[in-house]
Chain A
Protein backbone atom coordinates (compact mmCIF):
# COMPACT_ATOMS: atom_id res chain seq x y z
CA UNK A 1 0.00 0.00 0.00
CA UNK A 2 2.88 2.32 0.89
CA UNK A 3 4.29 1.77 -2.58
CA UNK A 4 0.99 2.83 -4.13
CA UNK A 5 0.93 6.06 -2.08
CA UNK A 6 4.57 6.68 -3.03
CA UNK A 7 3.71 6.25 -6.71
CA UNK A 8 0.68 8.53 -6.34
CA UNK A 9 2.87 11.27 -4.89
CA UNK A 10 5.50 10.74 -7.59
CA UNK A 11 2.76 10.74 -10.24
CA UNK A 12 1.30 14.04 -9.10
CA UNK A 13 4.77 15.63 -9.04
CA UNK A 14 5.64 14.29 -12.51
CA UNK A 15 2.19 15.09 -13.85
CA UNK A 16 2.41 18.73 -12.76
CA UNK A 17 5.65 19.11 -14.71
CA UNK A 18 4.13 17.38 -17.77
CA UNK A 19 1.15 19.72 -17.57
CA UNK A 20 3.36 22.80 -18.08
CA UNK A 21 4.42 22.02 -21.69
CA UNK A 22 1.01 20.43 -22.34
CA UNK A 23 -0.55 23.82 -21.54
CA UNK A 24 1.98 25.36 -23.92
CA UNK A 25 1.00 22.91 -26.65
CA UNK A 26 -2.70 23.57 -26.06
CA UNK A 27 -2.54 27.36 -25.98
CA UNK A 28 -0.84 27.30 -29.40
CA UNK A 29 -3.44 24.84 -30.68
CA UNK A 30 -6.33 26.91 -29.28
CA UNK A 31 -5.27 30.14 -30.97
CA UNK A 32 -3.68 28.86 -34.18
CA UNK A 33 -5.46 25.51 -34.65
CA UNK A 34 -2.13 23.81 -35.30
CA UNK A 35 -0.12 21.12 -33.52
CA UNK A 36 3.42 22.45 -33.05
CA UNK A 37 5.67 19.47 -32.33
CA UNK A 38 8.78 21.65 -32.22
CA UNK A 39 7.80 22.05 -28.58
CA UNK A 40 10.19 19.12 -27.87
CA UNK A 41 13.20 21.08 -29.11
CA UNK A 42 12.00 24.20 -27.31
CA UNK A 43 11.95 22.20 -24.06
CA UNK A 44 15.63 21.48 -24.80
CA UNK A 45 16.27 25.16 -25.64
CA UNK A 46 14.77 26.05 -22.25
CA UNK A 47 16.87 23.44 -20.48
CA UNK A 48 20.07 24.79 -22.02
CA UNK A 49 19.02 28.41 -21.42
CA UNK A 50 18.52 27.44 -17.77
CA UNK A 51 21.87 25.65 -17.74
CA UNK A 52 23.60 28.72 -19.18
CA UNK A 53 21.95 31.04 -16.67
CA UNK A 54 22.48 28.76 -13.69
CA UNK A 55 25.88 27.13 -14.31
CA UNK A 56 27.69 29.51 -16.65
CA UNK A 57 26.31 32.79 -15.27
CA UNK A 58 25.79 31.62 -11.68
CA UNK A 59 22.16 32.70 -11.41
CA UNK A 60 19.79 30.98 -8.95
CA UNK A 61 17.28 28.40 -10.29
CA UNK A 62 14.32 30.80 -10.25
CA UNK A 63 16.13 33.30 -12.48
CA UNK A 64 17.28 30.41 -14.67
CA UNK A 65 13.62 29.43 -15.08
CA UNK A 66 12.71 33.01 -16.01
CA UNK A 67 15.54 33.07 -18.57
CA UNK A 68 14.35 29.75 -20.02
CA UNK A 69 10.80 31.10 -20.34
CA UNK A 70 11.97 34.20 -22.21
CA UNK A 71 14.48 32.46 -24.48
CA UNK A 72 12.25 29.52 -25.41
CA UNK A 73 9.36 31.93 -25.98
CA UNK A 74 11.46 34.12 -28.25
CA UNK A 75 12.92 31.10 -30.08
CA UNK A 76 9.40 29.75 -30.53
CA UNK A 77 8.16 33.02 -32.06
CA UNK A 78 11.21 33.35 -34.35
CA UNK A 79 11.04 29.74 -35.57
CA UNK A 80 7.28 29.97 -36.07
CA UNK A 81 7.73 33.15 -38.12
CA UNK A 82 10.43 31.59 -40.29
CA UNK A 83 9.23 28.02 -40.75
CA UNK A 84 5.57 27.57 -39.84
CA UNK A 85 3.67 30.78 -40.48
CA UNK A 86 4.37 30.75 -44.25
CA UNK A 87 2.73 27.29 -44.37
CA UNK A 88 -0.45 28.11 -42.46
CA UNK A 89 -2.40 28.59 -45.67
CA UNK A 90 -1.65 24.98 -46.64
CA UNK A 91 -3.52 23.46 -43.71
CA UNK A 92 -2.91 22.07 -40.24
CA UNK A 93 -1.30 18.82 -41.42
CA UNK A 94 1.33 20.63 -43.50
CA UNK A 95 2.20 22.79 -40.49
CA UNK A 96 2.33 19.79 -38.13
CA UNK A 97 4.72 17.95 -40.47
CA UNK A 98 6.85 21.08 -40.87
CA UNK A 99 6.96 21.43 -37.08
CA UNK A 100 8.48 17.94 -36.85
CA UNK A 101 11.20 19.02 -39.29
CA UNK A 102 11.65 22.26 -37.37
CA UNK A 103 12.05 20.22 -34.20
CA UNK A 104 14.98 18.32 -35.71
CA UNK A 105 16.61 21.53 -36.94
CA UNK A 106 16.31 23.23 -33.53
CA UNK A 107 17.51 20.16 -31.66
CA UNK A 108 20.58 19.97 -33.89
CA UNK A 109 21.30 23.66 -33.42
CA UNK A 110 21.31 22.94 -29.67
CA UNK A 111 23.70 19.99 -30.27
CA UNK A 112 25.95 22.19 -32.40
CA UNK A 113 26.22 24.85 -29.69
CA UNK A 114 26.39 22.69 -26.54
CA UNK A 115 27.50 19.25 -27.76
CA UNK A 116 26.00 15.91 -26.76
CA UNK A 117 27.40 15.65 -23.22
CA UNK A 118 24.98 15.19 -20.35
CA UNK A 119 25.19 18.17 -17.98
CA UNK A 120 23.71 19.02 -14.61
CA UNK A 121 22.38 22.21 -13.13
CA UNK A 122 24.15 23.66 -10.11
CA UNK A 123 21.78 22.88 -7.24
CA UNK A 124 22.66 21.54 -3.80
CA UNK A 125 21.96 17.87 -3.08
CA UNK A 126 19.36 17.51 -0.33
CA UNK A 127 18.04 14.60 1.64
CA UNK A 128 14.49 13.46 0.98
CA UNK A 129 11.80 14.35 3.47
CA UNK A 130 10.05 11.26 4.80
CA UNK A 131 6.37 11.40 5.82
CA UNK A 132 4.95 8.15 7.19
CA UNK A 133 7.38 6.21 5.01
CA UNK A 134 6.74 8.23 1.85
CA UNK A 135 9.84 9.89 0.39
CA UNK A 136 9.51 13.39 -1.02
CA UNK A 137 12.55 15.17 -2.45
CA UNK A 138 12.88 18.90 -1.68
CA UNK A 139 13.90 19.48 -5.31
CA UNK A 140 10.77 17.66 -6.51
CA UNK A 141 8.63 19.85 -4.23
CA UNK A 142 10.36 22.97 -5.59
CA UNK A 143 9.71 21.79 -9.16
CA UNK A 144 6.09 21.00 -8.31
CA UNK A 145 5.54 24.45 -6.79
CA UNK A 146 7.17 26.19 -9.77
CA UNK A 147 4.95 24.18 -12.15
CA UNK A 148 1.85 25.15 -10.16
CA UNK A 149 2.95 28.80 -10.03
CA UNK A 150 3.55 28.86 -13.82
CA UNK A 151 0.12 27.34 -14.44
CA UNK A 152 -1.64 29.74 -12.06
CA UNK A 153 0.17 32.70 -13.63
CA UNK A 154 -0.86 31.69 -17.16
CA UNK A 155 -4.41 30.88 -16.10
CA UNK A 156 -4.69 34.28 -14.38
CA UNK A 157 -3.33 36.05 -17.46
CA UNK A 158 -5.90 34.34 -19.68
CA UNK A 159 -8.81 34.80 -17.26
CA UNK A 160 -8.35 38.20 -15.68
CA UNK A 161 -6.54 40.44 -18.15
CA UNK A 162 -7.70 42.19 -21.30
CA UNK A 163 -4.99 40.59 -23.38
CA UNK A 164 -5.93 37.14 -22.04
CA UNK A 165 -9.58 37.67 -22.93
CA UNK A 166 -8.51 38.90 -26.37
CA UNK A 167 -6.44 35.76 -26.89
CA UNK A 168 -9.39 33.56 -25.90
CA UNK A 169 -11.61 35.56 -28.24
CA UNK A 170 -9.22 34.87 -31.13
CA UNK A 171 -9.22 31.18 -30.17
CA UNK A 172 -13.04 31.21 -30.37
CA UNK A 173 -13.49 33.19 -33.58
CA UNK A 174 -10.58 35.05 -35.22
CA UNK A 175 -12.77 36.83 -37.80
CA UNK A 176 -15.13 38.26 -35.18
CA UNK A 177 -12.15 39.16 -32.99
CA UNK A 178 -10.69 41.09 -35.93
CA UNK A 179 -13.98 42.97 -36.38
CA UNK A 180 -13.90 43.85 -32.67
CA UNK A 181 -10.47 45.43 -33.08
CA UNK A 182 -8.17 42.60 -31.98
CA UNK A 183 -5.17 41.83 -34.18
CA UNK A 184 -5.33 38.00 -34.54
CA UNK A 185 -1.74 37.84 -35.77
CA UNK A 186 -0.45 39.68 -32.71
CA UNK A 187 -2.41 37.33 -30.45
CA UNK A 188 -1.01 34.34 -32.37
CA UNK A 189 2.54 35.57 -31.71
CA UNK A 190 1.73 36.05 -28.03
CA UNK A 191 0.21 32.57 -27.82
CA UNK A 192 3.34 31.04 -29.37
CA UNK A 193 5.55 33.07 -27.02
CA UNK A 194 3.62 31.97 -23.94
CA UNK A 195 3.24 28.37 -25.13
CA UNK A 196 6.88 27.88 -25.99
CA UNK A 197 7.89 29.85 -22.89
CA UNK A 198 5.98 27.25 -20.85
CA UNK A 199 7.96 24.57 -22.73
CA UNK A 200 11.15 26.37 -21.68
CA UNK A 201 10.08 26.34 -18.03
CA UNK A 202 9.39 22.62 -18.31
CA UNK A 203 12.89 22.18 -19.79
CA UNK A 204 14.49 23.60 -16.64
CA UNK A 205 12.19 21.62 -14.34
CA UNK A 206 13.09 18.40 -16.15
CA UNK A 207 16.76 19.39 -16.02
CA UNK A 208 16.49 19.97 -12.26
CA UNK A 209 14.76 16.60 -11.92
CA UNK A 210 17.29 14.67 -14.03
CA UNK A 211 19.97 16.24 -16.27
CA UNK A 212 20.39 18.31 -19.43
CA UNK A 213 21.03 16.78 -22.85
CA UNK A 214 19.74 17.58 -26.36
CA UNK A 215 17.10 14.85 -26.27
CA UNK A 216 15.52 16.05 -23.02
CA UNK A 217 12.43 17.28 -24.89
CA UNK A 218 12.09 14.28 -27.18
CA UNK A 219 11.99 11.97 -24.18
CA UNK A 220 8.81 13.59 -22.86
CA UNK A 221 7.11 14.93 -25.97
CA UNK A 222 4.86 11.89 -26.40
CA UNK A 223 3.70 12.14 -22.80
CA UNK A 224 3.12 15.88 -23.33
CA UNK A 225 1.11 15.23 -26.48
CA UNK A 226 -0.82 12.46 -24.70
CA UNK A 227 -1.63 14.87 -21.85
CA UNK A 228 -2.84 17.51 -24.32
CA UNK A 229 -5.02 15.03 -26.24
CA UNK A 230 -6.37 13.33 -23.13
CA UNK A 231 -7.33 16.64 -21.52
CA UNK A 232 -8.72 18.05 -24.77
CA UNK A 233 -6.73 19.78 -27.50
CA UNK A 234 -6.94 23.53 -27.02
CA UNK A 235 -8.15 23.31 -23.41
CA UNK A 236 -5.91 24.84 -20.73
CA UNK A 237 -7.65 23.14 -17.77
CA UNK A 238 -7.70 19.99 -19.89
CA UNK A 239 -3.91 20.07 -20.22
CA UNK A 240 -3.59 20.21 -16.42
CA UNK A 241 -5.98 17.27 -15.97
CA UNK A 242 -4.31 15.38 -18.81
CA UNK A 243 -0.82 16.02 -17.40
CA UNK A 244 -1.80 14.78 -13.96
CA UNK A 245 -3.55 11.68 -15.35
CA UNK A 246 -0.61 10.76 -17.59
CA UNK A 247 1.84 11.38 -14.74
CA UNK A 248 -0.17 9.16 -12.42
CA UNK A 249 -0.72 6.49 -15.09
CA UNK A 250 2.98 6.34 -15.95
CA UNK A 251 3.92 5.95 -12.29
CA UNK A 252 1.18 3.51 -11.31
CA UNK A 253 1.86 1.39 -14.39
CA UNK A 254 5.20 0.43 -12.85
CA UNK A 255 3.21 -1.73 -10.43
CA UNK A 256 2.28 -4.08 -13.26
CA UNK A 257 4.81 -3.48 -16.06
CA UNK A 258 8.57 -2.84 -15.96
CA UNK A 259 9.62 0.84 -15.80
CA UNK A 260 11.06 0.59 -19.32
CA UNK A 261 7.52 0.22 -20.68
CA UNK A 262 5.94 3.06 -18.74
CA UNK A 263 6.31 5.44 -21.70
CA UNK A 264 3.90 3.20 -23.63
CA UNK A 265 1.25 4.41 -21.21
CA UNK A 266 1.21 7.72 -23.10
CA UNK A 267 0.39 5.95 -26.35
CA UNK A 268 -2.26 3.83 -24.67
CA UNK A 269 -3.76 6.98 -23.14
CA UNK A 270 -3.99 8.68 -26.55
CA UNK A 271 -5.80 5.65 -28.04
CA UNK A 272 -8.10 5.33 -25.02
CA UNK A 273 -8.82 9.06 -24.98
CA UNK A 274 -9.69 9.12 -28.66
CA UNK A 275 -11.96 6.09 -28.26
CA UNK A 276 -13.79 7.27 -25.15
CA UNK A 277 -13.57 11.07 -25.46
CA UNK A 278 -12.86 12.03 -29.08
CA UNK A 279 -12.51 15.66 -27.98
CA UNK A 280 -10.63 14.90 -24.78
CA UNK A 281 -11.94 15.00 -21.21
CA UNK A 282 -12.41 18.78 -21.14
CA UNK A 283 -12.24 19.53 -24.86
CA UNK A 284 -15.09 21.38 -26.51
CA UNK A 285 -14.02 21.59 -30.11
Chain B
Protein backbone atom coordinates (compact mmCIF):
# COMPACT_ATOMS: atom_id res chain seq x y z
CA UNK B 1 0.00 0.00 0.00
CA UNK B 2 1.19 3.52 -0.77
CA UNK B 3 2.26 5.68 2.15
CA UNK B 4 1.13 8.83 0.35
CA UNK B 5 -1.55 8.85 -2.30
CA UNK B 6 -2.81 11.91 -4.17
CA UNK B 7 -5.53 11.34 -6.76
CA UNK B 8 -7.41 13.73 -9.05
CA UNK B 9 -5.89 16.77 -7.33
CA UNK B 10 -6.87 20.16 -8.73
CA UNK B 11 -5.49 23.15 -6.88
CA UNK B 12 -4.37 26.74 -7.30
CA UNK B 13 -3.82 29.97 -5.44
CA UNK B 14 -6.77 32.05 -4.29
CA UNK B 15 -8.53 34.01 -7.02
CA UNK B 16 -6.58 32.28 -9.79
CA UNK B 17 -7.17 29.37 -12.14
CA UNK B 18 -6.12 25.85 -11.24
CA UNK B 19 -2.40 25.19 -11.49
CA UNK B 20 -2.79 21.47 -10.83
CA UNK B 21 -5.34 19.72 -13.03
CA UNK B 22 -6.34 16.22 -12.01
CA UNK B 23 -2.85 15.28 -10.80
CA UNK B 24 -2.11 12.01 -9.05
CA UNK B 25 1.01 10.54 -7.44
CA UNK B 26 1.78 7.68 -5.10
CA UNK B 27 4.78 7.31 -2.81
CA UNK B 28 5.64 4.08 -1.07
CA UNK B 29 7.45 3.68 2.23
CA UNK B 30 11.25 4.05 1.98
CA UNK B 31 10.96 5.26 -1.59
CA UNK B 32 12.54 8.28 -3.28
CA UNK B 33 10.10 9.73 -5.79
CA UNK B 34 11.14 12.60 -8.07
CA UNK B 35 8.65 15.11 -9.47
CA UNK B 36 10.04 16.57 -12.67
CA UNK B 37 8.89 18.91 -15.39
CA UNK B 38 9.45 22.32 -16.94
CA UNK B 39 9.07 25.61 -15.08
CA UNK B 40 5.45 26.38 -14.29
CA UNK B 41 4.40 22.73 -14.47
CA UNK B 42 3.01 22.85 -10.93
CA UNK B 43 5.68 20.72 -9.22
CA UNK B 44 6.14 23.03 -6.21
CA UNK B 45 2.39 23.66 -6.00
CA UNK B 46 1.88 19.90 -5.73
CA UNK B 47 4.24 19.71 -2.74
CA UNK B 48 2.62 22.76 -1.15
CA UNK B 49 -0.79 21.17 -1.59
CA UNK B 50 0.35 17.99 0.12
CA UNK B 51 1.94 20.10 2.90
CA UNK B 52 -1.30 21.99 3.59
CA UNK B 53 -0.09 25.36 2.30
CA UNK B 54 -2.47 25.19 -0.67
CA UNK B 55 -5.96 23.74 -0.25
CA UNK B 56 -6.99 21.30 -3.00
CA UNK B 57 -10.20 22.24 -4.85
CA UNK B 58 -10.90 18.63 -5.70
CA UNK B 59 -9.37 15.19 -5.40
CA UNK B 60 -8.22 13.02 -2.53
CA UNK B 61 -5.05 13.26 -0.50
CA UNK B 62 -4.34 10.36 1.84
CA UNK B 63 -1.36 9.66 4.05
CA UNK B 64 -1.09 6.24 5.65
CA UNK B 65 -4.73 5.56 4.77
CA UNK B 66 -6.12 8.76 6.32
CA UNK B 67 -7.11 11.96 4.52
CA UNK B 68 -4.84 14.96 5.04
CA UNK B 69 -6.68 17.23 2.58
CA UNK B 70 -7.56 20.58 4.13
CA UNK B 71 -5.39 20.11 7.24
CA UNK B 72 -3.26 23.05 8.40
CA UNK B 73 0.49 22.84 7.69
CA UNK B 74 1.01 22.23 11.43
CA UNK B 75 -1.35 19.27 11.43
CA UNK B 76 0.17 17.82 8.27
CA UNK B 77 3.62 18.03 9.89
CA UNK B 78 2.21 16.43 13.05
CA UNK B 79 1.23 13.38 10.95
CA UNK B 80 4.86 12.98 9.86
CA UNK B 81 4.64 14.68 6.45
CA UNK B 82 7.37 17.33 6.60
CA UNK B 83 7.81 19.95 3.89
CA UNK B 84 11.15 21.66 3.25
CA UNK B 85 10.59 24.79 1.11
CA UNK B 86 13.02 25.75 -1.65
CA UNK B 87 13.78 29.18 -0.18
CA UNK B 88 13.38 30.72 3.26
CA UNK B 89 13.66 27.24 4.73
CA UNK B 90 15.61 28.21 7.87
CA UNK B 91 15.22 30.99 10.43
CA UNK B 92 18.14 33.33 9.63
CA UNK B 93 18.28 35.23 12.93
CA UNK B 94 18.29 32.02 15.00
CA UNK B 95 21.40 29.94 15.62
CA UNK B 96 21.80 26.47 14.12
CA UNK B 97 21.06 24.97 17.54
CA UNK B 98 17.89 27.08 17.85
CA UNK B 99 16.81 26.20 14.30
CA UNK B 100 17.12 22.51 15.11
CA UNK B 101 15.12 22.98 18.32
CA UNK B 102 12.37 24.77 16.38
CA UNK B 103 12.52 21.90 13.89
CA UNK B 104 11.59 19.62 16.78
CA UNK B 105 8.92 21.95 18.18
CA UNK B 106 6.11 19.44 17.62
CA UNK B 107 7.75 16.86 19.87
CA UNK B 108 9.92 18.50 22.49
CA UNK B 109 10.78 15.35 24.45
CA UNK B 110 14.49 14.43 24.59
CA UNK B 111 15.36 17.50 22.56
CA UNK B 112 19.07 17.45 23.43
CA UNK B 113 19.46 13.83 22.38
CA UNK B 114 17.69 14.43 19.09
CA UNK B 115 19.74 17.54 18.32
CA UNK B 116 22.88 15.49 19.01
CA UNK B 117 21.60 12.71 16.76
CA UNK B 118 20.91 15.09 13.85
CA UNK B 119 24.31 16.75 14.34
CA UNK B 120 25.93 13.33 14.20
CA UNK B 121 24.22 12.67 10.88
CA UNK B 122 25.12 16.11 9.52
CA UNK B 123 28.49 16.97 11.09
CA UNK B 124 28.74 20.43 9.52
CA UNK B 125 25.85 21.51 11.75
CA UNK B 126 27.63 20.29 14.85
CA UNK B 127 30.72 22.34 14.07
CA UNK B 128 28.77 25.61 13.87
CA UNK B 129 25.96 25.14 16.36
CA UNK B 130 26.27 28.65 17.81
CA UNK B 131 26.41 30.39 14.40
CA UNK B 132 23.39 32.27 13.11
CA UNK B 133 21.74 30.54 10.16
CA UNK B 134 22.16 33.69 8.06
CA UNK B 135 25.92 33.09 8.04
CA UNK B 136 25.63 29.68 6.35
CA UNK B 137 26.42 28.98 2.70
CA UNK B 138 23.63 27.79 0.40
CA UNK B 139 24.62 24.14 0.78
CA UNK B 140 24.94 24.36 4.55
CA UNK B 141 21.57 26.06 4.71
CA UNK B 142 19.94 23.20 2.79
CA UNK B 143 21.57 20.71 5.15
CA UNK B 144 20.24 22.67 8.12
CA UNK B 145 16.76 22.69 6.56
CA UNK B 146 17.04 18.92 6.17
CA UNK B 147 18.28 18.57 9.74
CA UNK B 148 15.32 20.60 11.02
CA UNK B 149 12.96 18.31 9.13
CA UNK B 150 14.60 15.24 10.68
CA UNK B 151 14.07 16.58 14.20
CA UNK B 152 10.44 15.42 14.28
CA UNK B 153 11.12 11.90 13.04
CA UNK B 154 9.29 12.36 9.72
CA UNK B 155 7.76 9.48 7.79
CA UNK B 156 7.97 11.34 4.50
CA UNK B 157 10.02 14.37 3.47
CA UNK B 158 8.76 16.74 0.78
CA UNK B 159 11.81 18.52 -0.65
CA UNK B 160 11.27 21.47 -2.98
CA UNK B 161 14.30 21.93 -5.27
CA UNK B 162 16.91 21.39 -2.55
CA UNK B 163 19.83 21.68 -4.99
CA UNK B 164 18.77 25.05 -6.49
CA UNK B 165 21.79 27.34 -6.54
CA UNK B 166 24.20 24.69 -5.25
CA UNK B 167 27.48 23.65 -6.86
CA UNK B 168 27.48 20.18 -8.52
CA UNK B 169 29.59 18.86 -5.65
CA UNK B 170 27.22 20.24 -3.00
CA UNK B 171 24.25 18.82 -4.95
CA UNK B 172 25.89 15.35 -5.00
CA UNK B 173 26.54 15.61 -1.26
CA UNK B 174 22.92 16.54 -0.66
CA UNK B 175 21.63 13.58 -2.66
CA UNK B 176 23.95 11.24 -0.74
CA UNK B 177 22.36 12.62 2.42
CA UNK B 178 18.86 12.10 0.98
CA UNK B 179 19.68 8.45 0.22
CA UNK B 180 21.01 7.95 3.75
CA UNK B 181 17.78 9.41 5.11
CA UNK B 182 15.77 7.07 2.90
CA UNK B 183 17.82 4.15 4.22
CA UNK B 184 16.62 4.96 7.75
CA UNK B 185 13.02 4.33 6.66
CA UNK B 186 11.92 7.79 5.57
CA UNK B 187 10.19 8.21 2.21
CA UNK B 188 11.27 11.22 0.13
CA UNK B 189 9.38 13.14 -2.52
CA UNK B 190 11.63 15.57 -4.29
CA UNK B 191 10.92 18.32 -6.80
CA UNK B 192 14.07 18.89 -8.80
CA UNK B 193 15.15 20.96 -11.80
CA UNK B 194 18.25 18.84 -12.39
CA UNK B 195 16.30 15.93 -13.85
CA UNK B 196 19.27 13.71 -14.66
CA UNK B 197 20.65 14.02 -11.13
CA UNK B 198 17.21 13.31 -9.68
CA UNK B 199 16.59 10.27 -11.89
CA UNK B 200 20.01 8.89 -11.03
CA UNK B 201 19.06 8.93 -7.35
CA UNK B 202 15.29 8.32 -7.31
CA UNK B 203 13.39 5.03 -7.37
CA UNK B 204 10.48 6.37 -9.36
CA UNK B 205 9.52 9.63 -11.03
CA UNK B 206 6.54 11.59 -12.26
CA UNK B 207 6.74 14.18 -15.01
CA UNK B 208 4.25 17.04 -14.86
CA UNK B 209 3.55 19.31 -17.81
CA UNK B 210 1.19 22.28 -17.60
CA UNK B 211 -0.24 21.05 -14.30
CA UNK B 212 -1.07 17.55 -15.55
CA UNK B 213 0.54 14.12 -15.25
CA UNK B 214 2.55 13.52 -18.43
CA UNK B 215 4.61 10.40 -17.66
CA UNK B 216 5.50 8.24 -14.69
CA UNK B 217 7.54 5.14 -14.04
CA UNK B 218 10.76 3.74 -12.58
CA UNK B 219 13.52 6.33 -12.63
CA UNK B 220 15.98 3.94 -14.32
CA UNK B 221 13.54 3.32 -17.21
CA UNK B 222 12.99 7.03 -17.67
CA UNK B 223 16.70 7.68 -17.81
CA UNK B 224 17.04 5.14 -20.59
CA UNK B 225 13.99 6.32 -22.55
CA UNK B 226 15.40 8.48 -25.36
CA UNK B 227 12.03 10.14 -26.07
CA UNK B 228 11.55 11.15 -22.44
CA UNK B 229 15.10 12.48 -22.29
CA UNK B 230 14.58 14.51 -25.46
CA UNK B 231 11.02 15.80 -24.97
CA UNK B 232 10.76 16.25 -21.22
CA UNK B 233 14.27 16.47 -19.87
CA UNK B 234 15.86 18.67 -22.52
CA UNK B 235 18.58 16.13 -23.32
CA UNK B 236 19.87 16.80 -26.86
CA UNK B 237 21.94 13.60 -27.18
Contacts and interface: CB of A to CB of B under 8 A. Distances in A.
A166 B98 CA distance: 9
Contacts of B78: 181
Contacts of A176: 85, 88-91
Contacts of B92: 172
A190 to B, nearest CB: 15
A89 to B, nearest CB: 12
Contacts of A172: 91-94
A156 interface: no
A168 B77 contact: no
A57 interface: no
A175 B51 CA distance: 12
Contacts of A284: 93
A177 interface: yes
Contacts of A169: 91, 94, 102
Contact of B83 (A162, A173, A179, A182): A179
Interface residues of B, number: 26
A162 B93 CA distance: 15
B115 to A, nearest CB: 13
Contacts of A178: 72-74
A177 B102 contact: yes
A180 interface: yes
Nearest to A184: B74
B105 A181 contact: yes
In this complex, the member of B83, B91, B101, B108 whose beta carbon has the largest number of chain A beta carbons within 10 angstroms is B91
A209 interface: no
A173 B108 contact: no
Contacts of B51: 179
A186 to B, nearest CB: 11
Contacts of A182: 74, 102, 105
A165 interface: yes
Interface size of A as a range: 10 to 19
Given A179-B73, A179-B74, A173 B106 contact: no
Contacts of A166: 102, 105
B91 A181 contact: no
Contacts of B181: none
Contacts of B72: 178
Nearest to B133: A172
A198 B217 CA distance: 60
B77 A179 contact: yes
Interface in A146-185: 162, 165-166, 168-169, 171-173, 175-183
B139 interface: no
A173 B101 CA distance: 15
Contacts of A162: 101, 105, 108
B199 interface: no
Given A162-B101, A177-B102, A182-B105, 16 more contacts: A162-B108, A165-B94, A168-B91, A168-B94, A169-B91, A171-B93, A173-B88, A176-B91, A177-B91, A178-B72, A178-B74, A179-B74, A179-B82, A180-B106, A182-B102, A183-B74
Q: 7 closest Cβ contacts across the A-B interface? A: A181-B106, A172-B91, A181-B105, A179-B73, A169-B102, A178-B73, A169-B91
28 contacts: A162-B101, A162-B105, A162-B108, A165-B94, A166-B102, A166-B105, A168-B91, A169-B91, A171-B93, A172-B93, A172-B94, A173-B91, A175-B73, A175-B85, A176-B85, A176-B91, A177-B91, A179-B51, A179-B53, A179-B82, A179-B83, A180-B77, A180-B102, A181-B74, A181-B105, A181-B106, A182-B74, A182-B102
